[in-house]
Amino acid sequence: WGLMRFALMTTTLLRLPPQPQPTARTAPRLWVPRQVLITRSAAGLPHGRAIAERAAALGSAVIELSSDRVVLPKHEDPRAAYRAAKSTMAIVVAPPSKRRLQPIPPSADWRFDLAEGCHAHCQYCYLAGSLAGPPITRVYANLDEILEALPAHLGQGGVTSTSADRAHEGTTFEASCYADPLGIEHLTGGLTKAVRFFGSWDAAVQLRFTSKFADVSPLIGLPHGRQVRVRMSVNAPALIRYEGGTSPLAARIEALSRLARDGYRVGLTVAPIQHFEGWRSGYADLFAQVGQALAGVPDLDLTAELITHRFTPGSKGVLQGWYPGSDLDLDEGARSRKLTKFGSVKFVYPAETMREMQAALTGLLAEHLPAARLLYWT
Ligand code: SF4
């Protein structure tokens, strides 16, 4: 496709319905990848081409690959390799292995993916231990195929249906395990399609995703049918400095309020909770800010998921390679060593610290956000 065509399409692709605008203080910055690679198969699908067109219109260099392999040029300097990967988005076709749904306790019955990888620079990113290879953001062009696989899982899954608190949510599908789909929505349009899909699904189901990004404009006004729960991933204000390239905390909280006022079910993913100097007042401040923003929301349905910081030897190695100057606490000596159900090692806060933080945070949540339903502490 010619650049001219990309430019001509901009006006139609990026037109949004009128809606309340975020304030200048909280206006989100949108990511524009420096380069976008589109594989041969992805270029053959309308959703893949639409993503490439949006990216080109925003200023990305779009490169059409002659095969389905995504390979970046080798860099001697690991920092340069990291920067090149983080500024690259690849549009690919998700193979069957990536389309197979997985149980994802305690968040949801099933996990499905619209993308894999993230362009932000959180120094405690959970993807560091989960995804191998250069940290490119891969977005899936075969979205229709991905969504079509969901109904076969209706009524199955062991998280929501077995929980007295959550059974009314029906079968739950989590879309943010390996990516932050809202942070790339202005490029992909994938969440918009997923929200419409769930909104028109005549069954007890819920689409769930969490985000550290605040541009919710594309979602406002969509027919979500109350079958979508958007959670904002938040933390004590002093810890947001570890979350490079994400939206400011105030913007996320304002976004949550906009969504709740648009009838979405909403939630807080408080993660990763850390035991730092001043943690008690930091989390009190966070919950107070959210309480203020959500005051007066009609028919508010708010949940909270409280997730403490943990790391593995593998994730520590990757994160220290990516962020060598970070002062993030990754001291194994101050943690308890635990085995995961897969037999690998993770480091968590000692039991006494966990008990102290759990009691304090659940108390603060009840005090500042009495409407919030706590889904789990982990
Ligand atoms: Fe990782 Fe989420 Fe931060 Fe992206 S926003 S770098 S996925 S923690």
pLDDT band at 9 (very low <50, low <70, confident <90, very high): very low
On the question of pLDDT at 284 being above 60, the answer is: yes
pLDDT tens readout for residues 204-254:
999 999 999 999 999 999 999 999 999 999 999 999 999 999 999 999 999
With beta carbons less than 8 A apart as the criterion, state whether 75 and 81 touch.
yes
pLDDT of residue 17: 37
Share the mean pLDDT of the chain.
92
Distance 117 CA to ligand 1 centre (A): 8
The 3-class SS string of 156-190 reads CCCCCCCCCCCHHHCEEEECCCCECHHHHHHHHCH
pLDDT tens readout for residues 132-180:
889 999 999 999 999 999 999 999 888 886 777 888 899 999 999 999 9
**Residues flanking ligand 1, CB < 6 Å:** 118, 120, 122, 125-127, 180, 212, 243, 246
Distance 135 CA to ligand 1 centre (A): 11
pLDDT of residue 12: 33
Ligand 1: residue whose CA is nearest its atom 1: 125
Structural element, H or E, at residue 375: strand 373-377
pLDDT band at 26 (very low <50, low <70, confident <90, very high): low
- The minimum-distance atom of ligand 1 relative to the CA of 121 is 6
pLDDT band at 25 (very low <50, low <70, confident <90, very high): low
pLDDT of residue 22: 57
- The minimum-distance atom of ligand 1 relative to the CA of 179 is 7
pLDDT tens readout for residues 48-91:
999 999 999 999 999 999 999 999 888 888 889 999 999 999 99
Pocket test for ligand 1, best of 89, 113, 123, 125 (most atoms within 8 A of CB): 125
Q: Please report where in the chains the tokens 């997730």 appear, as a residue.
A: 307
Distance 374 CA to ligand 1 centre (A): 23
pLDDT of residue 342: 82
Per cent of the chain over pLDDT 90 is: 82
pLDDT band at 24 (very low <50, low <70, confident <90, very high): low
Distance 125 CA to ligand 1 centre (A): 5
With beta carbons less than 8 A apart as the criterion, state whether 343 and 239 touch.
no
Rounded CA separation 110/158 (Å): 9
Mean pLDDT of 85-99: 97
pLDDT of residue 260: 98
pLDDT of residue 337: 97
- The minimum-distance atom of ligand 1 relative to the CA of 212 is 5
Alpha helix ranges (H) inside 205-344: 249-261, 279-294, 313-322
Q: Does the CA dihedral 109-113-117-122 come out positive or negative?
A: negative
Structural element, H or E, at residue 302: strand 302-308
ipTM above 0.90, yes or no: yes
Ramachandran region, residue 73 (left: φ > 0; alpha: ψ -120 to 50; beta: rest): beta
Rounded CA separation 193/180 (Å): 16
pLDDT of residue 130: 86
pLDDT band at 8 (very low <50, low <70, confident <90, very high): very low
Rounded CA separation 294/82 (Å): 38
Pocket test for ligand 1, best of 113, 126, 174, 212 (most atoms within 8 A of CB): 212
Mean pLDDT of 194-206: 97
Mean pLDDT of 12-36: 62
Quick one: tokens of 205? Answer: 């189901």
Q: Which of 264, 101, 106, 111 is nearest to 173 (CA)?
A: 111
Rounded CA separation 118/85 (Å): 10
- The minimum-distance atom of ligand 1 relative to the CA of 180 is 7
Distance 168 CA to ligand 1 centre (A): 30
Mean pLDDT of 262-267: 98
- The minimum-distance atom of ligand 1 relative to the CA of 124 is 8
Per cent of the chain over pLDDT 70 is: 92
Ligand 1: residue whose CA is nearest its atom 3: 122
DSSP string, 120-140: SEETT-GGGGT--SS-PEEEE
pLDDT of residue 29: 77
Distance 2 CA to ligand 1 centre (A): 33
Distance 67 CA to ligand 1 centre (A): 29
What is the reported pTM?
0.91
- The minimum-distance atom of ligand 1 relative to the CA of 246 is 5
Alpha helix ranges (H) inside the chain: 3-13, 40-43, 46-58, 78-86, 96-99, 143-148, 185-188, 190-199, 249-261, 279-294, 313-322, 351-368
Pocket test for ligand 1, best of 82, 127, 319 (most atoms within 8 A of CB): 127
The C-alpha angle with vertex 334 and arms to 328 and 338, in degrees rounded to 5, equals: 100
Rounded CA separation 157/109 (Å): 5
Cβ contacts of 217 within 8 Å, gap of 6 or more: 16, 19
pLDDT of residue 118: 97
